[in-house]
Amino acid sequence: MRPGCIAIAGPTASGKTAAALAIAQRWPMEIVSVDSALIYRGMDIGTAKPSEAERAQVPHHLIDIREPLNAYSAAEFANDARRLIDEIQARGRTALLVGGTMLYFKALMQGLDAMPPADALVREAIAARAQAQGWPALHAELQRVDPVSAARLFPNDAQRIQRALEVFAVAGRPLSSFHGAAAPTSSPLAPNAQLSLEPTDRAWLHQRIAERFDAMLAQGFVDEVRGLRARGDLHADLPAMRCVGYRQVWELLDETQDAPTPSQLATLRDRGIFATRQLAKRQLTWLRSMPARAVVAADAPDALDQVLRWAGNQLEVGQGVSAWAS
């Protein structure tokens, strides 16, 4: 029996999309995106969204399902992914989960920590203090009340600092104290049915990140964000506009409504690449906490062959996990 689903994870720019399409060309698959940015309509260039041609090769799910104005939680993803896995299996196919949003993987495979819900008033008060004092000052405050959470966050990581301080204000206990208290859940992934593309040479990944950001700029990334701003209903604090790259372009357009100067574009490039590197670093940290994953060196010359061999061991009748281990 083929599994109901398999998964490919990895940091940004590690080659997940190409690997997924190669698998889907050999076996009856449908791709379920595990990416918190691909859900948004109108955000195509800066998310490196699969092209229309790529999406025509194999059915894709959980792409373009929300307007940038609307949020989408990890719990919603887990519910949608489980439903899709069942529907895809009923069609005689296997769901291929592909992406780099590790919180989504955690929600699906382990359940979510039982943290308090968001409090809009508390969040607004924290944002107002950040406006007056700066996020590094609030990060210093977080170090006093929740040093465990503060240690894993950068001083300008506004979204996560805000959430950690919000949880402390609402619950009276640190965000870190909720970790490890996830609601029990059964994972739809069988043991070793998740593969991770992880480069052995960080410089290789950094080069790919830089090349991809350059390609985004050449494709009109700044104009894409300018168009989103022109809608009039979006603002910089929305989760969609906090996505890596979009935040940096938004900040640039706060400074100038005219065509950016070469100097401004160079600064944008540096900030965008740096932010993407930091994202990749966080993704790799998450991945190392998933001991059941199979790992392929993304920068290996035969990486794609290794991925296809792993997929074949998972999917072909009579193969199974033991064949990969051998």
215: left (phi over 0), alpha (psi -120 to 50) or beta: alpha
Three-state DSSP at 99 gives: strand
The C-alpha atoms of residue 257 and residue 226 are separated, in whole angstroms, by 9
Residue 52 corresponds to which tokens in the numbers above?
Answer: 């229309």
The C-alpha atoms of residue 190 and residue 1 are separated, in whole angstroms, by 12
Three-state DSSP at 171 gives: helix
| pLDDT on residue 180 | 57
Q: How far, in Å, are 227, 274, 285 from residue 271 at the CA level?
A: 21, 5, 21
| pLDDT on residue 55 | 92
CA neighbor of 19 nearest in space, from 208, 193, 197: 197
Question: Is residue 195 a contact partner of residue 294, using CB atoms and an 8 Å limit?
Answer: yes
Q: Would you list the DSSP string of 2-63?
A: --SEEEEE-STTSSHHHHHHHHHTTS-EEEEE--TTTTBTT--TTTTPPPHHHHHHS-EESS
Q: What is the pLDDT of residues 212-255, one digit of tens each?
A: 999 999 999 999 999 999 999 999 988 899 999 999 999 999 99
Q: Which letter, b or e, does each residue of 270-308 get, where b requires 16 or more Cβ atoms within 10 Å of its Cβ?
A: ebbbebbbebbebbbebbeebeebbbbbbbeeebbebbb
Q: What is the pLDDT of residues 86-143, one digit of tens each?
A: 999 999 999 999 999 999 998 998 887 777 777 888 988 999 999 999 999 999 999 9
pTM of this prediction?
0.82
Question: Is residue 252 a contact partner of residue 268, using CB atoms and an 8 Å limit?
Answer: yes
Residue 174 corresponds to which tokens in the numbers above?
Answer: 């640190």
Strands (E), 106-209: 194-197
Residue 36 corresponds to which tokens in the numbers above?
Answer: 């918190």
Q: Would you list the DSSP string of 197-260?
A: E--S-HHHHHHHHHHHHHHHHHHTHHHHHHHHHHTSS--TTSTGGGSTTHHHHHHHHHH-SSPP
Q: What is the pLDDT of residues 138-190, one digit of tens each?
A: 999 999 999 988 988 888 888 889 999 999 998 888 887 776 555 556 788 77
Q: What is the pLDDT of residues 278-321, one digit of tens each?
A: 999 999 999 988 878 999 999 999 999 999 999 999 987 434 33
The C-alpha atoms of residue 277 and residue 1 are separated, in whole angstroms, by 40
Question: Is residue 198 a contact partner of residue 10, using CB atoms and an 8 Å limit?
Answer: yes
- With a cut of 90, say whether residue 273 has pLDDT above it: yes
Q: What is the pLDDT of residues 8-35, one digit of tens each?
A: 999 999 999 999 999 999 999 999 999 9
Mean pLDDT of all residues in 65-74: 92
H/E run at residue 295: strand 294-296
Q: Are strands 5-9 and 60-61 parallel, antiparallel or unpaired?
A: unpaired
| pLDDT on residue 182 | 53
Question: Is residue 246 a contact partner of residue 268, using CB atoms and an 8 Å limit?
Answer: no
Instruction: Give the model's confidence band at 325: pLDDT under 50 very low, under 70 low, under 90 confident, else very high.
Output: very low
The C-alpha atoms of residue 60 and residue 56 are separated, in whole angstroms, by 9
- The 10 Å Cβ neighbour count of residue 98 is 26
Considering the chain, what is the average pLDDT of its residues?
90
Residue 49 corresponds to which tokens in the numbers above?
Answer: 């969204």
The C-alpha atoms of residue 205 and residue 11 are separated, in whole angstroms, by 9
| pLDDT on residue 141 | 94
